[in-house]
Amino acid sequence: MLAVVLIGGAAGGWLLLQQFGDGPGPPTDYSGKRPRLVRTPSATPAAEVVKLRPITGAQLCDAISDAFRKDLVTDGKYGGKDASTGAATETDKQASCEWRNNKMDVGAGVIGHRSLSISVRARSTESQNALEYAKDQFEQDRKTHERRVNVRDGQRIDGRSSGSAFGETTKLAYGDASYSQSSIGHSGLSAEVYVREGPWLIKVKYGGSNRTGRKYPSGDEVRAAAGKVAERVTAEMAKDASKVDASGPCAILSTEDVEEAFFPTVTGPSVGENDGRIKQTTCAWKIVEAVKHEPGQEYTSRGGELHIHVVDWQDGGGSGSGFQFDRDARKYDRYRAKGGIGDTVSHTTYGPREELSGLGEKAFAVVSTTTKPGEEDAEPRQEILVEVLTGERTVEFTFRGTTAGGGIVEADGYQEPVFESDAARSAVTRLARTFLAGLK
């Protein structure tokens, strides 16, 4: 039986959520049970706007030529590529690209693991335009990285004999400001290069470890490679924006499609693409109803997140899409029969699996409820999943959140947001029909 690790969750999670010091916060709680207090906006003058160019993970990948990249991370059976694009707004754009090979011939008969990752981000706030934000954030990150230095002149200075080792930061000459830092940890020896190019914060990381021969690649080798990659990425981000045409499965549904099936306001999609042995694409939209309110009024919003996960099984080594679909169906039946899955921290139960018609070759829907046994006051989180078999693909459509209620808390007839399985199923299946009709 083929063992495959499938990417899931919000697209771009693998890298976009861990880059810079002021990264995105925790996922929004769409249970509707914890009203948000809206306060009068700050009186701070608005910052001068700095227009941000569009950028996608695919564009970042293309900035590194195949010939050069293959010197660092070759293609292979035990490798792959990930490209992620964050849900872009006028004030926040981010993208990333990563290559990896777990059994790479690195020369002289040595087999090793190598990975190369790139991420870029630019954002603005009410009080800072994107350029001001980038300057402040770059300096904060630099100071943070200097504080974690625990190796100087080849010797640890923290008195410890284990744990990650970080070398001193080294000033570089890429972009408007840049520096590098080398480290040794669980993932081997790596070099990270940080660059500010105009409003863009850029991070490049390259390195790995060896399965045979010496344990680590040389520090000079990984530092030189990371620097060359950073030079190319910096040059790409200094260019005027090229036109970005939506492509691939995540371009099938428009924002209007999602809003018509649910309700305004929708942002997205975030896009995650994995081009390893099994090709996968994940699209994610955040859906939150806009509630008219006065400054200081307490209100809640119905909404949640819609995810679509497409897996192409045609190169799956003989275990095709039909096998995978049937295995998933049996899995949810088994989970329901044994009363759910989980532990004392989180427990998920499953409703009966419902066969659906009119979607692909076969389809089913299942509703799940997740609770926290140790937290009696925690509200349950509900989700509907619709899985479809279509040709050599399986497609999962999931919505987690609330579908009714919300509004001004003190208003007459106010209802806390709730999840209605029938409404969620109707919205998801409507979008599934549109998506499947456009899937090539």
Amino acid at 404: A
**Of 29-33, 82-86, 124-128, 212-216, minimum mean pLDDT range:** 29-33
Rounded distance between C-alpha atoms, residue 348 and residue 339, angstroms: 9
**Residue 362 Cα distances to 283, 332, 387, 389, angstroms:** 22, 15, 8, 5
**197 close to 176: Cβ distance less than 8 angstroms:** yes
For residue 11, pLDDT beyond 50 = no
Indicate if the alpha-carbon torsion angle 13, 18, 20, 24 is positive or negative. Answer: positive
The predicted-structure confidence for 62-107, as pLDDT tens digits, reads as follows: 999 999 999 999 988 888 999 999 988 888 999 999 999 999 999 8
The predicted-structure confidence for 100-135, as pLDDT tens digits, reads as follows: 999 999 988 899 999 999 999 999 998 999 999 999
| Helix ranges, 159-277 (H) | 219-237, 255-261
Question: Does residue 256 sit in the same domain as residue 232?
Answer: no
Among the candidates 211, 237, 263, a domain finishes at 237
Which pLDDT does position 340 carry in this prediction?
96
Question: Does residue 79 sit in the same domain as residue 222?
Answer: yes
Residue closest to 99 by CA, chosen among 244, 248, 273: 273
The predicted-structure confidence for 285-304, as pLDDT tens digits, reads as follows: 999 999 999 988 999 999 99
Structure confidence at residue 204 as a pLDDT band (50, 70, 90): very high
Indicate if the alpha-carbon torsion angle 250, 252, 254, 256 is positive or negative. Answer: negative
Which pLDDT does position 245 carry in this prediction?
62
- β-strand 79-85 against 92-107: which pairing, if any? antiparallel
Domain extent, residue 305, equals 249-438
Which pLDDT does position 99 carry in this prediction?
96
The answer to whether position 4 is within a domain reads: no
Which pLDDT does position 440 carry in this prediction?
82
Question: Does residue 111 sit in the same domain as residue 68?
Answer: yes
The answer to whether position 305 is within a domain reads: yes
Q: Which residue has the higher pLDDT, 54 or 327?
A: 327
What is the CATH number for 102?
Answer: 3.40.1000.70
**Residue 80 Cα distances to 75, 85, 214, 287, angstroms:** 7, 17, 24, 31
Question: Does residue 162 sit in the same domain as residue 288?
Answer: no
The answer to whether position 36 is within a domain reads: no
The predicted-structure confidence for 221-276, as pLDDT tens digits, reads as follows: 999 999 999 999 999 999 876 666 667 899 999 999 999 999 988 888 889 998 87
User: 401 in helix, strand or coil?
Assistant: strand
The answer to whether position 7 is within a domain reads: no
**181 close to 146: Cβ distance less than 8 angstroms:** no
In this prediction the pTM is 0.73
